[in-house]
Structure 1
Amino acid sequence: MIGRSGSRTLAPMAADPTDLPTPDDVRAAASRIAGTAHRTPVLTSRLTDSEIGASVLVKPENLQRTGSFKFRGAFHTLSRLSAEQRRAGVVAFSSGNHAQAVALAASVLDIPATIVMPTDAPAGKLAATQGYGAAVVGYDRYTEDREQIATTLSGERGMTLVPPFDHPDVIAGQGTAALELLEDAGPLDALFVCLGGGGLLSGSLLAAQALSPGAAVYGVEPEAGDDARQSLRAGRIVRIEQPRTIADGAATTALGTRTFPILRDHVTDVLTVTDDQLVDAMRTFATRMKILVEPTGALAMAGLRVAVAADPQRFAGARVGVVVSGGNVDLDRFTALVGG
């Protein structure tokens, strides 16, 4: 549809949207992406189970195509575009993982793609995005508005704007990660999910409604960027200054108009963790499960460990799911963080 400025967007950004996705939409998304997105495994660690006092079941989306869960939502969304929209191309804004996901999904579907990325984006994410064939437009994340840049490009070039989290098709696609976890592992007592703009958490909440309605679902965001926690406490979307955290994929300034009501109505709680706690969780994944996890991807595990440190019996004997959101971190950066 054409907005007032002439830009193409996937849906109007209503203040109180009525087009929120449902659990059935997550199931439908799973069918659409089957055979294209990887069905990632469920990992366990006896040492982690002993430390937490629970059965911990990890969904490693660092093993997903492009190295993060973002491919699920990107491919699902682009696969539903009209022939006219596909010919005109798409534009997205992202610090890295959504960028790569849209770039690869566009390549698979033969759709031209332009991605607005911060000039300080991790080198590996930038190289991968360009390697998938997308054109990249740089910006300064601390002084420029990436969404406005993308919206302007959309209007000038007639491209469809694909938001990183605040769209029904994106949310439904992201929710397929938790849906698979619940299908493969069975019902859970608790589920911990990384939280930035809220797309993954919103989709996970919908999946839990469908397959494990009794599960307590927790979002985990960086302490330096606690906009979601502030928003839920205030009962409205709270916008914060650009946070400075090693969890670059969760360095968002506000929830979306669609993700906020889903979190408000269904999330059990939002926890925050420090950068040091993220590094500890990254080290845990590397040593116990032999997987490379980026700082943002370690949010959920870090949140679980913080919760148990505060109350060792909180999840005693429970079945706890942990969604790892991604593993796109430069090796030199990973070594510098974890090797210290």
Structure 2
Amino acid sequence: MKVQQGDSFRASAFGIWMRFGQRGLEFKFNPWYDSEDGRFTFVGQGNYFPRRGSIDDPFAARGGYGRGPWTTETDAERSSREDDPRNPRNHSVHTVQAGESLTSIARRRKGLRVSDLAWLNGIDPKKRLRIGQRLMLPHQQFLDAGRDARNKFLALAYYQQTHGGRLPPNPANPPSLERQILDSNWRRETLNGYDFQIDVIDRPRITYGTVSQTNKPKRSRRLQARAGGADRRPTDDGGHFWAARFDGPLVRFNHFAQDANFNRGAYRAMEDAWAAHRRAGRSVFASIKPYYSGASRRPYKIVVTWSVDGGRRETRTFWNEAKGKPRGAK
């Protein structure tokens, strides 16, 4: 299999994190690891190597143990490593133009902090730049690889912490930290006869129950107006998973940012059908499963399954968009 340049960047960056960890463009020292193969270990595992120059280990500062990760490394040696931002492969040279500052130059790269750019070039971030001054500017690919490696490192550490030290099926590509946290540790709440499974950021991941009716529906305009939070769109309504006419509970997690056309169209037609069954004395059991992108509070689709009097199940997928299913969506 041919390895592309981007793959080698990511493999190198992931190796950095597995051995030492990384913060921005700088390394953080991790004394616990196997010196033979460089594999990262947790505290109490493998061998312990104090930080070079430690007061507990004065010989290490002089390189008394020979070549190894605890010996003094020259700038030339360090900058020649594939994983160092000062390696010419990992940066371009930017010539400062009139009116430019570290802040404006750092904005050329996603996720590059001014402090990291200053550190890389060995300059005081508070001083003005000179016109014509030459600065090392990391390639976006290098920064992305480091960020990806950091996220994988954290995800792998969290997985082992929550799985008794076991590795995931594919350690090189563990489930994201966001996914591990949001897809577990749900709590259950039952209100007005409806069960809600709610994740750690207070989003319902599935809700189900027997559809009831009430002659005195109650609404909360405040909760409807706040549904979706910062992820709400100008074209959204404050919708309900369980409508007011079905005695839906007046709590935040029964509300979501719902596209107005979707809310007043197909979704309402389904609810009208449920209401007709209830008026006819038939029982309707339904489950509603919202799907989210990352940590967004606005579901991008809703999958509803229901049955009448315990009969055949029906399932419908509703896309939370004005024109239904987006192109390319699955």
TM-score range, shorter chain: under 0.3
Structure number with higher strand proportion? 2
Structure number with higher relative contact order (C-alpha < 8 Å, ≥ 6 residues apart): 1
- The two structures have a TM-score, normalised by structure 1, of 0.25
Structure number with higher helix proportion? 1
